[in-house]
């Protein structure tokens, strides 16, 4: 029996650690039949080492999503490797340290602007860079952290994720005519590199200990990876502008 991504070609960003959602997405995508290509920044060599743990070899290309030159050459590089694309995974987020950890009211705009550019606007810029390779439609999937709420320590990454969620909806509106679906997975906390950059991350993660209906494991990114792969597949052919929660059900529980 073939996998649900058999014949698909997918670009995946954000593979930095074996514990990341992006790594497990890449692993599952290959297991489900996809050809993949990875992007990395600022240390492609780190991603190249991690990529050796995937089931099949894959190319890693340097991509700074805030660099117009990098974005401008992306389609040519990916086209030479894969020919075309059926899916794009946006697993990119960054905020300077003074935008996190309880400093919300004192964060300068320059830091907020960086968080918004890297974490939200890049969904649009990455997708548009890949658009020439998606002539037959496809699926864009991003990763968010439920922006309905103000989370402990998360600070300006919260508004950045809210902007990411809105960006995905507007992209769904404008790219639907090209048969491109844009959706997000809202995952619970995972002990990834991104999480380790958040001061007081344990305070945020502790919310899941008391409120999540399903037991949540900080060390298990695979459920979120499965959600991404499902949205990349043809099993959600008419779903776009959606946010699928893979958070143990916490989003449904008030207290």
User: Known catalytic residues?
Assistant: 154, 161
Cβ pair 182, 171 in contact under 8 A? yes
The percent of the chain in helix, strand and coil, each rounded to the nearest 5, is: 45, 15, 40
Q: Comparing C-alpha atoms, which of 155, 63, 165 is closest to residue 112?
A: 155
Sign of CA dihedral 245, 246, 247, 248: positive
How would you classify residue 155: left for phi > 0, otherwise alpha for psi between -120 and 50, otherwise beta? left
Give the gyration radius of the chain's Cα atoms: 17
Please state, as a whole number, how many other Cβ atoms lie within 10 Å of the Cβ of residue 191.
18
b/e string for 4-28 if b means 16 or more Cβ within 10 A?
A: bbeebbbbbbbbbbebbbbbbbbbb
């Amino acid at each position: 029996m073939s996998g649900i991504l058999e014949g698909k070609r997918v670009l995946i960003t954000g593979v930095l650690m074996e514990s990341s959602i992006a790594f497990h997405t890449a692993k599952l995508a290959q297991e489900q039949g996809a050809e993949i290509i990875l992007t990395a920044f600022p240390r492609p060599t780190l991603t190249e080492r991690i990529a050796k743990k995937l089931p099949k070899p894959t190319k890693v290309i340097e991509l700074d999503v805030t660099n117009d030159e990098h974005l401008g050459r992306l389609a040519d590089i990916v086209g030479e490797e894969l020919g075309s694309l059926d899916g794009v995974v946006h697993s990119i987020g960054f905020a300077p340290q003074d935008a996190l950890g309880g400093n919300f009211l004192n964060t300068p705009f320059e830091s907020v602007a960086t968080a918004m550019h890297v974490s939200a606007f890049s969904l649009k810029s990455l997708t548009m860079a890949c658009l020439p390779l998606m002539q037959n439609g496809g699926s864009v999937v991003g990763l968010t952290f439920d922006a309905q709420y103000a989370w402990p320590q998360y600070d300006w990454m919260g508004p950045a994720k809210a902007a990411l969620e809105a960006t995905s909806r507007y992209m769904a509106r404008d790219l639907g005519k090209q048969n491109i679906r844009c959706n997000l997975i809202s995952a619970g906390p995972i002990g990834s590199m991104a999480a380790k950059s958040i001061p007081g991350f344990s305070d945020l993660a502790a919310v899941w200990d008391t409120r999540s209906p399903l037991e949540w494991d900080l060390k298990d990114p695979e459920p979120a990876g499965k959600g991404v792969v499902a949205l990349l597949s043809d099993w959600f052919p008419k779903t776009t502008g959606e946010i699928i929660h893979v958070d143990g059900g916490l989003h449904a529980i008030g207290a």
